Structure 1
């Protein structure tokens, strides 16, 4: 496995492949000095510790083994993943190549070179531009098919997967605002989450959910919690337990799979181009009162004319309107009452003229400013304050609006990439530095339901969270923090200071790395749900070619601690959507499968698996190693 990148995602992905799947990994990173491509010895832990971090510094403690079924690691320095660098990394013999540089152009150039050097290599590309990613994926797959017309078993697995760390992490961050947890999966238009349940003997009546995913560790009732810490106690969580384990673990909490529904206030699109746009969006309250006063004056004058002249009511109203618009003959020689009413009607007409001009100007101004950023309405409450409209914030905004959750965005840069999206969706937006006084108040933070601090600055996110907590102590807060140790310390401190509030700290690279690693293993990953410090992967798998599934019932195919079948795709193979996670039409997946259903080769299933269990199911390592 080759991983080429220049940020934390590359380091986490390399550690994921080596430590979890037991793969031989070559990590290609930019050099610290001017050296073009310098190998770091296996015992050189100084650079490795700084590069891989705490979770993967052990990659270089063992001698770098060969790629023939053994695990190990090798570090290669290169400024860019050029032809020479990829050849030095061994791309001709690699099973998969992940290109996770922050620059899309660098990843695209390297992907084209890699496909030419090895048409059978499995490519996982990190791109922010999703439409370009779809075209690139089709192009590279077509090139592989034309280059290897008879690929054989190895080439049959060749594929191209385009992922975005923003798209991978956005569902988890958006779900935190919705359900207070980032443990979510999108599949077939359904939003699923992992909900915690107390032990059966606690006396609480709870929904059992679709199935039990894990038994929590015995220390999950720690006042500071175990989700933000690497040390979850002497007894860790037990993933995918069987019925006997559930009966024996009466003192442990559980994690169950359940659907997520939003029952709070919803945010209407509020577009001025809609036919049903409210009158209040066009005309101000003062103008509406002025128009009402003029109408009342016209009605009063018409009634007075009817009573004084004795004419028909319609004729009296007609005369009044003629007087108001100054197109009637002067009432010379008429009774005094008629003359007085005509003068009052003329005065009313003079007052009506500026009101009509103001109405026209306000209406034109409203339509002219329809493309401008809207401001938070005065009575807004129960909304989500989204801080930061970069690539992560923009993706989270799309997820929240798909769920009709009211959102107020805060961004310091008017040219941020998410501002145009907020303008198009008519989402209220506050432009200003969140560290300045009054910015969060403009976003109605004191009446908000949650704060998502997703800027690229850890200190800015922390400052916004602390200030928001001072305004509303029970506010649900989710922070994007780059450093894991810093995130753990912040999480524990805020939970201890505000035990009744919901606090979460998330790293985008931590949430995205399992999905990228699963894609390198050759399967469509729908999502990754963390259970304390372990991870469950959800994947769509074709039954054909897997001896552990074909011809077995759903109950027989279950493997404790490895995988569990959750859903069956009922659509025909010709009509199946390749990416279930992007499907917006629910109904193709059946989530409650009879235990005696026999799996057929043409079936496709959605399963939950541990990372080692998924590796065994894909045949990447011996079964004896799957112990988690």
Structure 2
């Protein structure tokens, strides 16, 4: 396995491949620049490199001259070879890393163009190479994936097994559901790939007399302290207190008083919903609330004056309204010869007309201002409360913002860069944005932090996130906060300290590389990874696997193939076979479909393809690669 990158995800991915799957890995990274502490990337490199050293349990031994080194060695499960280079992954560098004889290559640079250029070069060097690319642009990623697969098919003269030859993933898309769900309680987590939508819902324990809906499958049991502010956050629990992934029926029945993650709904996603036109405000947004109330009050006065004129003069309703409007706009003849009641009504109509003129002028100016600023960011409304304050509109923040708006959650964003990539998304979604440095006094107050439900600190700087959270806690000690931190160990340390300082407030800390690495590692192992669903601080993978060649699946029933805590068969893909429970022999191929709720007695045939949920170590064990050293080609 070859991993090329310039951030924390590359180090985490290499550690995942070696520590979980027991693979031999070549890690290609820029030099560490020991004399300079680089912002963000330097910290990510240092922390994840330390994690890598702990996982491989070996020292770094340097080799001379070429800037390469070897991490680990001597253990049968795999080694990590570190190759440092200051240049981009050109053909010479990829050849030195052994791409020509590698099984898989992961390109996880922060720049999409760098990853695409390296992928095209690697496909030319080794057409059979399994490629995993990190791309933020999803539409471009689909085209690149199809292009690289087509190139491999033409170069090898075969299209067998090419469905997993190229996989395009995004760490932002992988981590966004976890970060969005952490800020809320009882939210659903969705994995969507190629039209397949898996929806996992986090449910609270049923109350007295309530019966919990089991859904399709119980994917996990949450830790006993998952909703306790002073409790352990998943990975810190142990034994019965820790979350249990893929529990069996007995464990679910015995786990009373614990929340669950249930696979509630499975369907094929339809066409995307049309996006609202940006820059065109709705009619209600043209005028402020005060102006609307003023117009409504004047309208009520006009109606009251018209009714009074009907009662005084006996005119019909239409004529009385017409005369009232003439008096209102001062274009009627004076009622000097009429009765005193008519004269009083005319004076009142003129007075209301005087009030109407500034209101109409304000309406015109406000409407023009609304159209002029429709392309600008909105300001938080005065009475806003119960919202989520989102710090940072970079790659991760933009994806999280989209997720929150899809769930209908009110959001106020804070961003220091007016040219950030998420500003356009916030403008399109009509989300209020406060432009300013979150570390400056008054910025969080402008985002209504004192009335917010939770705070999501997702900027690219750990110190900025931590400073913002500490300041927010000084304003609201009971505020629910979620921090994005690069290193998972640092995130755990911050979580423990904040929990001890504020025992009555919910605190969560997350590492994006920790959430994204399992999906990238699974894709490198050659399985069609549909996505990953976070369960507290753990990860549950969804994958499409061919039964043939897997002794733990082939020839076994669905019940026998279920391994509690490791993997579970969820559905049978009948798109490439004529099978499936209840299918008549010789019926021919069926259209793409998934058979859910398979009977436990259904026997998995070699030609079947199944969708399963698995833990990281469970997937590694199912692939049968742990404990086996790969022999390098001379």
Given the two structures, how large is their TM-score scaled by the length of structure 2?
A: 0.77
2:510 match: 506
Deviations 1:590-610 (A, max 9, x none): 653321233355654321223
Greater alpha carbon shift after TM alignment, 460-469 vs 187-196: 187-196
CA RMSD, Structure 1 to Structure 2 (Å): 4.6
1:78 match: 85
2:471 match: 467
Deviations 1:129-180 (A, max 9, x none): 112111111111111111111477xx65761111111111111111112337
Contact 1:374 1:428 in 2 (8 A): yes
Question: Separation in 2 of the partners of 1:289 and 1:50?
Answer: 62
2:481 match: 477
1:494 match: 498
Q: Which runs of 5+ in 2 are unaligned?
A: 35-45, 62-69, 266-274, 579-591
Question: Separation in 2 of the partners of 1:110 and 1:601?
Answer: 36
Aligned equivalent of 2:450, options 446, 450, 455? 446
Q: For 1:555-566, what aligned pairs fall within 5 Å after superposition?
A: 555-560=559-564, 562-566=566-570
Question: Separation in 1 of the partners of 2:345 and 2:186?
Answer: 67
* CA drift at 1:357: 3.0
Relative distance call for 1:55 and 1:183 in structure 2 (3 A) is farther
1:116 match: 124
Q: For 1:482-561, what aligned pairs fall within 5 Å after superposition?
A: 482-528=486-532, 535-543=539-547, 546-560=550-564
Question: Separation in 2 of the partners of 1:260 and 1:124?
Answer: 30
Task: Report SS of the residue matched to 1:513.
Answer: helix
Relative distance call for 1:554 and 1:436 in structure 2 (3 A) is same
* CA drift at 1:447: 2.9
1:146 match: 154
Say whether residues 1:103 and 2:111 are aligned partners.
Answer: yes
1:412 match: 416
Aligned equivalent of 1:371, options 372, 375, 381? 375
Q: For 1:352-431, what aligned pairs fall within 5 Å after superposition?
A: 352-431=356-435
* CA drift at 1:373: 2.1
2:143 match: 135
1:593 match: 598
* CA drift at 1:500: 3.6
Task: Report SS of the residue matched to 1:467.
Answer: helix
Contact 1:389 1:418 in 2 (8 A): yes
Task: Report SS of the residue matched to 2:600.
Answer: coil
Question: Separation in 1 of the partners of 2:289 and 2:480?
Answer: 35
Contact 1:169 1:508 in 2 (8 A): yes
1:15 match: 15
Question: Separation in 1 of the partners of 2:106 and 2:189?
Answer: 25
Contact 2:570 2:613 in 1 (8 A): yes
* CA drift at 1:394: 0.4
Greater alpha carbon shift after TM alignment, 558-567 vs 186-195: 186-195
* CA drift at 1:442: 2.7
Relative distance call for 1:185 and 1:56 in structure 2 (3 A) is farther
* CA drift at 1:459: 1.8
* CA drift at 1:406: 1.9
Aligned equivalent of 1:609, options 614, 629, 633? 614
Relative distance call for 1:78 and 1:443 in structure 2 (3 A) is same
Q: For 1:242-257, what aligned pairs fall within 5 Å after superposition?
A: 246=251, 256-257=260-261
Question: Separation in 2 of the partners of 1:333 and 1:563?
Answer: 95
Deviations 1:518-555 (A, max 9, x none): 01011222344567876543212244554543443211
Q: Which runs of 5+ in 1 are unaligned?
A: 35-45, 262-268, 575-586
Deviations 1:206-226 (A, max 9, x none): 776755667899999996626
Relative distance call for 1:491 and 1:181 in structure 2 (3 A) is farther
Task: Report SS of the residue matched to 2:478.
Answer: coil
2:586 match: none
1:125 match: 133
Deviations 1:372-399 (A, max 9, x none): 3223333433322211111110011111
Relative distance call for 1:20 and 1:469 in structure 2 (3 A) is same
* CA drift at 1:322: 3.5
Contact 2:279 2:375 in 1 (8 A): no
Question: Separation in 1 of the partners of 2:411 and 2:550?
Answer: 45
Contact 2:4 2:107 in 1 (8 A): yes
Task: Report SS of the residue matched to 1:430.
Answer: strand
Contact 2:58 2:73 in 1 (8 A): no
Task: Report SS of the residue matched to 1:55.
Answer: helix
* CA drift at 1:418: 0.9
Greater alpha carbon shift after TM alignment, 218-227 vs 396-405: 218-227
Deviations 1:165-203 (A, max 9, x none): 1111111111112337998756843431577989xxx99
Question: Separation in 1 of the partners of 2:316 and 2:202?
Answer: 75
Greater alpha carbon shift after TM alignment, 452-461 vs 538-547: 538-547
Question: Separation in 2 of the partners of 1:223 and 1:307?
Answer: 70
Relative distance call for 1:469 and 1:209 in structure 2 (3 A) is farther
Question: Separation in 2 of the partners of 1:463 and 1:28?
Answer: 33
Task: Report SS of the residue matched to 1:114.
Answer: helix
* CA drift at 1:26: 0.9
Contact 1:301 1:320 in 2 (8 A): yes
Task: Report SS of the residue matched to 2:58.
Answer: helix
